[in-house]
A and B are shown apart, each in its own frame.
Chain A
Amino acid sequence: LAKTTQPISMDSYEGQEVNITCSHNNIATNDYITWYQQFPSQGPRFIIQGYKTKVTNEVASLFIPADRKSSTLSLPRVSLSDTAVYYCLVGGGNTNAGKSTFGDGTTLTVKP
């Protein structure tokens, strides 16, 4: 399984764009990159997933360079309610189809 590395914490202010980068140097050809968001006292929830280049949905954008050894979650114009822990997961394809491990994630604190 590809190991991921993220910053432990980040601070931002309301209205700013936040970029959280995840390193996954040993990503496999079949692996996808998935980001989850977790609020206190809740289970994580899916935000966005990508395989290469750029993916955008109503919540965030995900940028993946050509070598796929890292990815960047971009949250546009954050608000106080975006304060949460963000996890990057790598996996998929035909190998280890069942196992999914989380790292410690990135704690994002949005200030007024």
Chain B
Amino acid sequence: NAGVTQTPKFQVLKTGQSMTLQCAQDMNHNSMYWYRQDPGMGLRLIYYSASEGTTDKGEVPNGYNVSRLNKREFSLRLESAAPSQTSVYFCASRLDRSNEKLFFGSGTQLSVL
């Protein structure tokens, strides 16, 4: 099993460009998450999807959109990238309830110039 797979691993954008970060899990998990982590900081929740067909805002949703394409895939889109969105992005999934462990991908390092 691959677990949680994120693509790409690295990306450089110019201000105003758009892009989509992809995330897929093969553990048949219901819930999926997108976090961002700025240097020296903790993880902040951007959006999450408690189950297929639902998405909800986290702590820092502004400037992002998400799509729960199916049970396996949860994408994060930056419509008009800004330098403040330079960060490492992590996707995570869990089976269902919040007391179950989260499984993380290896992250996407995004730089916006």
Spell out A's residues near B (CB within 8 Å): 30-32, 34, 36, 41-46, 49, 85, 87, 91-94, 96-105
Task: Take A42-B106, A43-B92, A87-B42 as given contacts and tell me if A99 and B99 are in contact as well, using a CB distance cutoff of 8 Å.
Answer: no
A-B pairs under 8 A by CB, number: 79
Q: In whole angstroms, what is the CA distance A37 to B68 when docked?
A: 27
Chain A residues near B90 (CB-CB < 8 A)? 43-44
Binding site for A on B (CB under 8 A): 4, 31, 33, 35, 41-45, 48-51, 56, 58-59, 88, 90, 92, 94, 96-107
Docked-complex contact A100 and B107, CB < 8 angstroms: no
Question: Per DSSP, are chain A's interface residues mostly helix, strand or loop, or mixed?
Answer: loop
Which A-chain residue is minimally distant from B109 (CB atoms)? A41
- Choice from B50, B103, B105 contacting A97 with Cβ under 8 Å: B50
Q: 9 additional contacts, CB 8 Å, given A43-B90, A97-B31, A97-B96?
A: A32-B99, A42-B104, A42-B106, A43-B4, A46-B102, A49-B101, A87-B42, A92-B97, A93-B98
